[in-house]
Structure 1
Amino acid sequence: MNLFPGTIAGLLRADALNVSRDPMLMIGIVMSLLPVPLIVIFGPLAETAAHETFGITGVARMLGALAVLMPGAMLGWVTGFMLLEDRDEAVLMALETTPVGRNGFIAYRLVVTIILTLIVSAGIGFFVLPDLPWTTAFLMAIITASHAVLTALFLLAFSANRVEGLALTKLINLALLAPLAALIAPPWRYLAAIVPAFWIGEMAGLSPATLSPLPATLLALATAALFVILLLARLRHRTD
């Protein structure tokens, strides 16, 4: 695997061009940012309406937790779908004969996804959950980045083509609801802890009795690492 600065710059230009030419991928990127203005503008209104109508409080915080996770879901999906396209078009197979290599190319895509997700998710956290310490917002962004990696690898590991990838997207999107499991009384809510994104709800303060941010992040990353190992093992056994 040889990824020199010039090679990385060339790959980044090519990926940016590919994304700009695909309306579906562009929509995915826009969707990762769309919740921010909506929550900033309508969050207080939703909070007031929910409290006056149903006696529910903390709606804006719930929406904020989901918004923090959105970049991981959307950017991870974009990365996974681009890798599926490359596999369908035999690009990944052709890369086996280059210095970059198939695994090097996948690693490059995942690292770029992690960096972008960290930046976007942390920024969203500062806007939609301004009462949280910046360290907590950053730790939540780290968990979101792990969610992006899992999303991309899940699509690549379990989808034979882009059509199957679109079908599996519906299943993957269910993980977006994982932070809301923090609303369930303990110990039952910890059944959802198998999904790393669950800990975002804990750290956002959706429940009065939560684990502190650092242990929650470590547990989320440990779970994500286990899933990454399993997904990579499945990828190694694929013949396509």
Structure 2
Amino acid sequence: MQEKEQNISPIKQRILFFAGTLGISKRDFYTKIGVSRGTLESKTGITEDVVTKFFATYPEVSVEWIMTGAGEMLNISPSCKKKSNKSIEQIENKDNAPAVSFNPTVGKPYYDVDFLGGFNEIVNSQVTIPTNNIVIQGFEKADFWCNVTGHSMEPKINHGDIIALHKCALEDIQYGEIYAVVLDTLRTIKILRRSSDPKKLRFVPINTTDYDEQEYPVERIMNVFEVIGSISKFF
């Protein structure tokens, strides 16, 4: 009997999230724990053998967190945990400074891809794992963070910044605001305005010295993301 296809298991997702914090390639990670790439990235369950191999290689990872998602990702003593939580609180409350979290339940995921380049890795893959999460007040509406390239929205959004995005629908667009738009052949970040042609939208840059306004048919738009804001990359 053919096994029914399912989404990648939460346990696999947490293992892959941890792998993304190690600073090594996925290939090296799989080699280290002794499994193939398909073992963790396929849309099937996970065997006890794989879990055993993982914990044998990384005993510092919390069994409870891997199996249920509860608690901290790493095993730390209660005294260290208290100190760690206090430090995070101080970071968050000091001038609203951004902080990095490796707990997938804290903050919003950051993907180390460029919106104008590798963005398909986020929207088309169910196994892409964020590099880390970003914790910063005022960006709770964001779905995730990614990199931005290009100079068309300077000085408001600079080349090399990271941007917080929230997926929305065409009917949600508020004209005059900044959106990251995925069209059939390109991705762009611009101010959206009405066009004299009801079947098109105007894509307006801030840097009008080097970039021209353009119009694209609405039918070419595949995804729209509200740009909640941007900050200079701090990590």
TM-score class, shorter: under 0.3
Higher strand share: 2
Larger Rg over CA atoms: 2
